[in-house]
Chains A and B, each alone.
Chain A
Amino acid sequence: MLLNASGCLDALTAPEVARSLDAFVTKTITPEPRGGNAPVRIAETESGMLNSIGLANPGRERFLAETLPRLRKLDVPLWISVGGFSAEDYAATCAALEDVEAIELNLSCPNVDDAAETAGAIVAACRAATVLPLYAKLSPSTWDIAENARAVEAAGADGLSLVNTLRGLVLDERTLRPTLAAGSGGYSGPALKPVALAAVYACSRAVDLPIVGMGGVQTGLDVLELIAAGASAVALGTILFADPAAPARIRAELAAELAARDLGQLLDARGLAHSSLQISGSRSGNGTQKRAANKQKSTA
C-alpha cells in the first residue's frame, strides 16, 4: 500500500497524483488557521531538503466545511493528519472527524513536547474522542523511539507512521546565514532512509502495530526495504516533489523486485530483515526476538 507523506501533496491541486496512491494523507490540520512560516521555506541539501512550511492550513472549521467535502469527491481513501498544541486540540479535531479511512496524529509538531508521556497522553485523549483508526506519527529525534512506540500503543494507537523529518539547518553559501527564514527546518529526502529503516526496525520489534514506513523512499527497492524492516505500508514524501509520477514508477519497480526474489506479494517480505538477526544473534532481549518470530509466522 502506497500513500503520500503528510504535507507532500495537495490532492485538490494534483488529483491525478492522489489517485495514483492507495490513500491520500492531508496536510496537518490544526484547530486554528495557520498561514505558516515566512518565506524562504525550502532549501535543498546534497542529499535531501529542508522545509519550514510551519503547518500552514485552513484550520479545523474551514477544513471540515470546505476542504474535506472537495477531497471526498476525489474518491480516494482519506487519511486526515491532525496536529495541535495540547492533547485537547488533537482530541477536539478527532471528535469532529467521521467517515475517513484513518487519522494520523502528527506528534512531531515542533511546539509540542515529544516525550513519550506527552505522545501517550495525546493518543489517549484522541482514543477517547474517536473510534476511527489512529496512527501515531513519531519523530525520529529520540534515542529510543521504541519507548515512544510502546507508550502510544498502550494509549490505544492502532498504528504507527514512521518517521517525521529530522531537524536540520542549511546556511546560504554566500552569506553564511540560515537559508530558511525560520532558521532550521525539517530534513527529508534520501538521507532520511537509514533513519526511517532504523525506526521501523526498532518499533516493529517493540509493538504489535501496523507501521507506515516513510523517509527517503525513491525506488521500489526502498519500499521493499521498509517492508522488510517491518512496515506494512509505505508513504512517499520528497520524491513526489521531484517526480509526480513516482507512484506508478515505484509500483513497477517493486513488482520487478518481488518477482526477482520469488516473493508472491509484498507482505511476504514483511519483517524479513529480522530473520537474519535471529540467526546471527543480537543484543536485544528474548522477548523482542520472540515477538519478531511470531510476526514472521503470522505474516507467512
Chain B
Amino acid sequence: MRRRLRRVAGVEAVGPYTLLHIERGDLDAGEPGQFFMLEAPGRVLPRPMSVCLATATELAFLIDPVGPGTRALCRLEHRDELNVLGPLGNGFDLDVERPVLVGGGIGVAPLPFLSERLGRPPALLGFRSEWHAEAAALVPNAEVCIEPTYVTELLPSGVIDVLACGPEPMLAALRALVPSAQLAWEAPMACGYGACFGCVVELDGELKRLCVEGPVLRAA
C-alpha cells in the first residue's frame, strides 16, 4: 500500500466542477466506482475521488470545489505533482443485463468511466442548474433534468439494473424504487483504506466502512 507521485496532465473547467487529469504511468485504473485518495496541496488529509475517465495514459477525476481540500485540488496546474493512493474500495458490479446509469450533481463523477466499460448504456442525470448540467456532456446517451425535476421521475418502470451515484436523498429514493440498485455512497474519509473508521454509513442498522465495504453497495 504505497502512494505514487504523479504529474497533472491537464485541468479543465466543466461547469462549476474541475476535471483534473493526471499522468497514469503504471497505475491500475481499477473498476468504475473505485476511488483514489488524492493529496490536496497544503492539507493534512487527502481527498477520495472516484475515477471519472481512464485512458491508456491518463486518469481523470471530476472535483466539486466544496471545501478547502477540493478547492486546493482544483487550484492544481498542469505539471504540478501530487501523491495518489489507489484504486481503493469496491466498484460497480459490471455483470448487468440492461443497465441504466443514474447520477445526481457531482455524483456524475464515476459515470463516464462506467458508461465506457458498459458500452454506453442510457443514463439519467439530474442537476441543480444548467451550469452544473454542463457535466452531462461527459456521459454518453444521457437524458438530463434540472431541479425541480428529479431523476427518479424519469426512471422507467421495471428497470432492474440501476447503477447510481449522487446525493443521499437521491440514493435513498432509488433504493425505495429499485431494491436491486447498485448505489455509490459518499462520506468524509481520512484514509481510504480502512484505518480511520470515519467513513461509516448506517444501512439497515449496521455501520459500514464505505472505503472497504463500499463505496458501491447493493441497495437491498
Interface residue ranges, A against B (CB under 8 Å): 7-10, 13-14, 16-17, 27, 35-36, 38-49, 51, 53, 56, 173, 189-190, 238, 240-245
Neighbour of B197 across the interface among A7, A17, A40, A48, CB < 8 A:
A7
Contact check, A242 vs B196: say whether CB atoms are below 8 A apart. Answer: no
Contact check, A36 vs B197: say whether CB atoms are below 8 A apart. Answer: yes
Q: Known pairs A38-B202, A242-B45, A242-B190; list 19 more (Cβ under 8 Å).
A: A8-B196, A14-B193, A16-B1, A17-B195, A27-B197, A35-B207, A36-B200, A39-B188, A40-B188, A44-B69, A47-B44, A51-B190, A53-B196, A53-B197, A56-B207, A189-B44, A241-B190, A243-B3, A245-B2
B191 an interface residue at 8 Å Cβ cutoff?
Answer: yes
* Contacts known (A244-B1, A245-B2); A42 close to B196, Cβ less than 8 A: yes
Contact check, A42 vs B199: say whether CB atoms are below 8 A apart. Answer: yes
Residue among A53, A242, A244 with max Cβ neighbours from chain B (10 Å)? A242
Please give, as numbers and ranges, the residues of chain B lying within 8 Å of A8 by CB-CB distance: 195-196
Contact check, A43 vs B194: say whether CB atoms are below 8 A apart. Answer: no
| Count of A-B residue pairs with CB < 8 Å | 101
Please give, as numbers and ranges, the residues of chain B lying within 8 Å of A190 by CB-CB distance: 44
- Write the nearest CB–CB distance from A289 to chain B, whole angstroms: 37
Interface residue ranges, B against A (CB under 8 Å): 1-3, 39, 43-46, 67-69, 83, 85, 187-191, 193-202, 207, 212
Q: How far is the CA of A173 from the CA of B85 in the complex (A)?
A: 28
Please give, as numbers and ranges, the residues of chain A lying within 8 Å of B201 by CB-CB distance: 39
* Contacts known (A13-B212, A42-B188); A53 close to B195, Cβ less than 8 A: no
Contact check, A14 vs B3: say whether CB atoms are below 8 A apart. Answer: no
* Contacts known (A44-B44, A44-B69, A245-B2); A240 close to B188, Cβ less than 8 A: no
Q: How far is the CA of A48 from the CA of B44 in the complex (A)?
A: 6
For B197, the closest partner residue in chain A by CB is A53
* Contacts known (A8-B195, A9-B195, A36-B207); A238 close to B44, Cβ less than 8 A: yes
Contact check, A245 vs B45: say whether CB atoms are below 8 A apart. Answer: no
- Write the nearest CB–CB distance from B66 to chain A, whole angstroms: 9
For A190, the closest partner residue in chain B by CB is B44
Contact check, A42 vs B46: say whether CB atoms are below 8 A apart. Answer: no
Contact check, A51 vs B200: say whether CB atoms are below 8 A apart. Answer: no
Please give, as numbers and ranges, the residues of chain B lying within 8 Å of A51 by CB-CB distance: 190, 196, 198
